């Protein structure tokens, strides 16, 4: 059985920041790919399937033990991790941003830290100080300001349901993963989770439907980088490796050193980072309200982080 190392919170925090930074940059790269003609559902299938192929190759060359399928309840847990925390998360998010303003979709998805905190308090019986809820409320309010959801707000029942579904899936990714990395090598967890997700996504949107003629097209990098062009295949490779494999892996590995509540609350900086990315890269406006909202997110995270008491020992599932 896999024996996890001693917890190192500082190292874990560094992993989360690295993962969040890569996800932020990937938002820009993904926009370039979408503007080059790859539709969102196909991009999701290509992203997850390509990641699985890289994981299988890496495991075959360097860690064949990760290729062994898990058994018993742990196997079902990883199936749930793949279907809910990987495939359904991306699927519901794309539905939400297709039917709602992107800011509202982001705000709904990033209700996940509240769901994780409620789970930790009610189910795992984690003792918290009252300012945790103040911090979470401030962070969510800051996200609302930073993403500007009041602009063009339109109620769409399916879109709202998808956004809330993305929040549940995002929380499930961390909570299920927190159990998995306690028993298995993180590489084995992410390999089998993404394999399950790849199968599910290919049933919904087969990879064979992808127009491969797009691969050699030159895509403009848009915004301040519109003078640069890169082949679509290289951008897809970035999305699969540095935009998916590495950030998902390091944030999952961070759960060996930090609690799920910590990881998800730090990850709340991602939409703020995307806001800044849009300003720096794509010449999008960044007003005073958005800046105040970004500061509120940071303050809220600090308040919530300082509110937890003793660490919680998560009971692993029985094999």
Structure tokens at 96: 């939400």
pLDDT exceeds cutoff 80 at 266: no
The predicted-structure confidence for 77-127, as pLDDT tens digits, reads as follows 888 888 998 888 888 887 776 676 666 677 777 777 777 777 777 777 777
Q: In whole angstroms, how far apart are CA 129 and each of 171, 205, 303, 305?
A: 21, 45, 10, 10
* Burial (CB count within 10 angstroms: exposed 0-12, middle 13-18, buried 19+), residue 286: middle
- State the pLDDT at residue 150: 61
Torsion angle of C-alpha atoms 138, 143, 146, 148, degrees rounded to 10: -120
Stronger pLDDT, 106 or 292, i.e. the higher one: 292
Domain boundaries, the chain: 9-305
- The Cα 84–Cα 106 span in angstroms is 18
Q: Which helix (H) or strand (E) holds 89?
A: helix 89-99
Q: Give the number of other CB atoms < 10 A from CB of residue 218.
A: 10
User: What pLDDT is stored for residue 264 in this prediction?
Assistant: 66
pLDDT digits (tens, 9 = 90+) for 143-192: 778 766 666 555 677 888 888 898 899 888 777 766 655 567 777 888 88
Q: How many CB atoms lie within 10 A of CB 221?
A: 19
**27 Ramachandran zone, left/alpha/beta (phi>0; psi -120 to 50):** alpha
Asked whether the predicted pLDDT for residue 239 surpasses 60, the reply is: yes
Lookup result for tokens 């159990």: 179
The mean pLDDT of the chain is 79
- Give ∠ CA 67-73-76 in degrees, rounded to 5: 65
pLDDT in tens, 28-72: 888 888 888 888 788 889 888 988 888 899 889 988 888 988 887
Residue 203 burial (CB < 10 Å; 0-12/13-18/19+)? exposed
Q: What local confidence, expressed as pLDDT, does residue 300 receive?
A: 79
- Which pLDDT band, with edges at 50, 70 and 90, does 317 fall under? very low
């Amino acid at each position: 059985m896999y024996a996890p190392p001693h917890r190192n919170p500082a190292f874990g925090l560094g992993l989360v920041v690295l993962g969040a930074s890569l996800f932020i940059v990937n938002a820009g790269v993904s926009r370039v790919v979408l503007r080059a003609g790859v539709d969102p559902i196909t991009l999701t299938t290509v992203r997850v399937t390509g990641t699985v192929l890289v994981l299988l190759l890496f495991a075959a060359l360097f860690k064949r033990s990760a290729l062994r399928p898990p058994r018993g309840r742990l196997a079902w847990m990883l199936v749930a991790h793949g279907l809910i925390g990987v495939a359904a998360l991306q699927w519901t998010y794309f539905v939400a941003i297709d039917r709602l303003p992107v800011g509202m979709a982001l705000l709904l998805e990033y209700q996940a830290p509240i769901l994780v905190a409620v789970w930790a308090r009610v189910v795992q019986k984690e003792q918290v100080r009252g300012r945790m809820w103040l911090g979470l409320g401030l962070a969510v309010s800051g996200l609302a300001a930073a993403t500007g959801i009041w602009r063009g707000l339109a109620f769409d029942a399916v879109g709202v349901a998808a956004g809330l579904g993305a929040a549940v899936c995002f929380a499930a990714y961390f909570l299920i993963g927190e159990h998995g990395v306690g028993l298995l090598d993180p590489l084995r967890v992410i390999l089998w989770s993404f394999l399950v997700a790849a199968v599910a996504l290919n049933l919904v949107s087969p990879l064979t439907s992808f127009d491969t003629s797009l691969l050699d097209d030159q895509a403009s990098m848009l915004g301040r980088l519109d003078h640069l062009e890169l082949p679509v295949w290289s951008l897809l490779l970035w999305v699969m490796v540095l935009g998916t494999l590495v950030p998902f892996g390091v944030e999952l590995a961070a759960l060996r050193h930090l609690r799920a509540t910590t990881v998800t609350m730090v990850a709340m900086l991602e939409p703020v980072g995307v806001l800044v990315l849009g300003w720096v890269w794509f010449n999008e406006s960044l007003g005073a309200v958005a800046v105040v909202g970004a500061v509120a997110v940071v303050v809220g995270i600090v308040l919530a982080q300082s509110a937890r008491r003793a660490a919680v020992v998560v009971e692993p599932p029985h094999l």
